[in-house]
Amino acid sequence: MIIKSDEIFLENEIIPGYLSIGDGYIKDILTEGQADIDLTGLKVLPGFIDIHVHGGNGFDTMDAEYEAIDAISRYKIEEGVTSFCPTTVTAPEPKIMKALKNIAEAKQRGVSGAKIIGGFLEGPYIDKEFKGAHPEEFIVDIDLVGLQKYIDTGAIKSVAIAPNLDNAYDAIKFCKARGIDVRIGHSGADCGQVQEAIKYGANIAIHTYNAMTGLSHRSPGFVGETLVNDGIYNEIICDLIHVSKRAIQVLVKCKRDKVVLITDCMEAGGLPEGVYKLGELEVVVKDNVVRLAEGGSLAGSTLSVISAVKNMNKIIGVPLFQAVKMAAQNPAKALGIYDEIGSLAVGKKADLIAIDDDFNVKFVMVDGKVIKAV
């Protein structure tokens, strides 16, 4: 199959041309050909990768049912996402186990929309003082036996660890030795503790600025360390609600190609205002803001990746080419899967999307199959 467009976003340039697709892969990039699908007038981009998403369209990863994960995977297609990490929240151990087993099964069985990369275990190994929307009563001390049980489900791609907890560095080494990525956040760690965690292999800061110690002149904090340390990628929720425009600009200026757009979207994504749940807790969605019914903490978002890219471009002022990188190339690199996905290049999976000038997602292809047609 040959796809044509006058603007194809490759790894380092935008070109007019043709993509030859076969067996689920990009076989060739050509300057002329016979197009089977003509996407002239649309921008062809690598499929977006959302590495931190709880749910959407009325479904939550914690529902722990195949139908829920499959519905989230279809929902993600509408915003241009072709791969994602279903994300759990802090809950009683049996509930987390059930959600993880479901992720593993769904990944094996296959889903009908965006592909499952692997689960992100967000909680229970976080700092109670920086819990955000995680229920405090289920936050536990780090114990490697418990962690091994979660890992044994085969579902996990990344684990969240708060670096200031007892045994945090051991847990990071433990995960890395088992091929699991470690993301750090939900933590009162100081800059030295964060630096240490990165030395042991943690490589992603969870929703930068949110639920971590801030930057001040004599205590640069969690935020400060992640802004200057090139050993870590930075998730950011670019909805202009979780983090201000100026703070996002600071991050972009410091970290450029380490910035990763995430949604942290929960089940209300794509639905009207009202009362919903995030894991165990009741939340209220009003004016696009999700807050805990009790206490009023921000509780995830209803953001889409395409809106995050649009905000990065239109409001933060990042060139579109770089904003797209933040949603595809950078997350793939952060998860160590850039040899397979995250850019349009010969030999990579044919995961691609096409958008119009108003950031509407018009076309989506996953593994060489058209999931959303023009």
For the annotated catalytic residues, the residue numbers are: 264
Peptide bond into 319 cis (omega under 30): no
CA-based nearest residue to 242, from 139, 165, 89, 133: 133
Distance of CA 306 to the CA centre of its chain: 12
Residues counted in the chain: 374
Sequence letter at residue 251: L
CB atoms within 10 A of CB 40: 10
Which residues have C-beta within 8 Å of that of residue 147, sequence separation ≥ 6?
125, 159, 171, 174, 175
CA–CA separation, 87 and 81 (whole Å): 15
Residue pair 281/133 in contact (Cβ under 8 Å)? The answer is yes
Please, which residues bridge with residue 182 across strands?
Answer: 159
Distance of CA 235 to the CA centre of its chain: 7
